[in-house]
Amino acid sequence: MRTEDLIHFCAPGRLIIGNGSRHQLPQLLARLGYRSGVLVTDAFFAEKTPWVKEYTEAAERLGISTIIYAGGLPDPTTGLCDEATAVLRDQLAGKQPDHVIALGGGSNIDLAKALTLTLPQGRPIAEFAGDIGGCRPLPLIALPTTSGTGSEATPGAILLDPANATKIAVMDNALRPQIALIDPEFTYTCPPRVTADAGIDAFTHAIESFLTLDSALFERAGNPDPGYSGRSPLTMLFARESMRLCFAWMERAYQQGDDTEARVGMAYASIYAALSYGTAGLNAGHGIAYAVAGQTH
């Protein structure tokens, strides 16, 4: 504890971690009163895995209808979000969904976050860049399929603006998922390159948030509900454990994709890093990446 700390810690409304935990999601959503949803994913997960069909059939039996959008792409653009908004609003035919589910890596989760803002009124996502202006997004449920981006626990959606090839952020604590469900079984078939890239991402999140400005020094610009608010012993606790887990399990997960213990270890490393940087913020590495990644993907 440090008496000068100014802690403003935010996390998903519910955090669920465990092998096979995806199977309890329909019952949980029914218990919470959800009845009409949109599931955002990509063609691979919709067509090559049983996960989407398993969920929609189980949800349907409990009275929850779901529209599938499988047009997710790596590094989603503002244009893709606006196109998806138009397609989904046409399918919804004036009906308002009461939740959005994201299944996939950080790109699919970021697209779903953006859609929670654009679906209600059909407004272009560019209108929400930087600050969502008090808008209330649809509740989001995030199911990450990689161990790295941490988007399931953070207040931002990162999109590529094709006009200037730069990544932009749509930020607000209201964009944090109401439910973050981490089922390590989703990651068991991740190819080695994706496993490595995602693991390094998690490790970088932990390092940067561990070394960022202290909460007492972090500039909040008078915002009473900042998305990022600097490091504290609380965020550093998560970052430290994430780094330890990355050292213990990342190489094994990369070299032996069927090593379930390593996969679970990296799932925890990723969410712990996200719980750290999702409040503390990051550092120069990610700041530079907004411009670089827009050019290099």
Task: Assign domain 14-187 to its CATH architecture.
Answer: 3-Layer(aba) Sandwich (3.40)
Mean pLDDT of 68-84: 97
Mean pLDDT of 63-71: 98
- The letter for the amino acid at 207 is I
**Statement: residue 297 has pLDDT above 80:** no
Could you report the per-residue pLDDT of 222-269, keeping only the tens digit for each?
A: 999 999 999 999 999 999 999 999 999 999 999 999 999 999 999 999
pLDDT of residue 278: 97
Structure tokens at 294: 């827009």
Could you report the per-residue pLDDT of 10-50, keeping only the tens digit for each?
A: 999 999 999 999 999 999 999 999 999 999 999 999 999 99
Phi, psi of 66 (to 5 degrees): -140, 130
Structure tokens at 143: 């199911």
- The letter for the amino acid at 90 is D
**Statement: residue 296 has pLDDT above 80:** no
Contact 16, 142 (CB under 8 A): no
* 102: β partners: 40, 142
User: Around 1, how many Cα atoms within 13 Å sit in the side-chain half-sphere?
Assistant: 1
Label residue 294 by pLDDT band (50, 70, 90). low
* Mean pLDDT across the chain: 95
**Statement: residue 295 has pLDDT above 80:** no
Long-range contacts of 28-35 (CB under 8 A, 24+ apart): 28/179, 29/59, 29/62, 29/64, 29/99, 29/141, 30/59, 30/62, 30/63, 30/64, 33/98, 34/64, 34/98, 34/99, 34/139, 35/63, 35/64, 35/65, 35/98
Mean pLDDT of 116-129: 95
Residues 6+ positions from 177 with CB-CB distance below 8 Å: 12, 13, 102, 140, 141, 142, 152, 153
CATH code reported for the domain at 192-296? 1.20.1090.10
- The letter for the amino acid at 29 is L
Residue with tokens 């606790």: 237
Alpha helices in the chain (DSSP H): 25-31, 43-48, 51-61, 78-92, 106-118, 192-211, 233-255, 260-280, 284-296
CB atoms inside a 10 Å sphere around CB 138: 20
pLDDT of residue 292: 81
Where, residue-wise, is CATH 1.20.1090.10 in the chain?
A: 192-296
Mean pLDDT of 76-103: 97
Where, residue-wise, is CATH 3.40.50.1970 in the chain?
A: 14-187
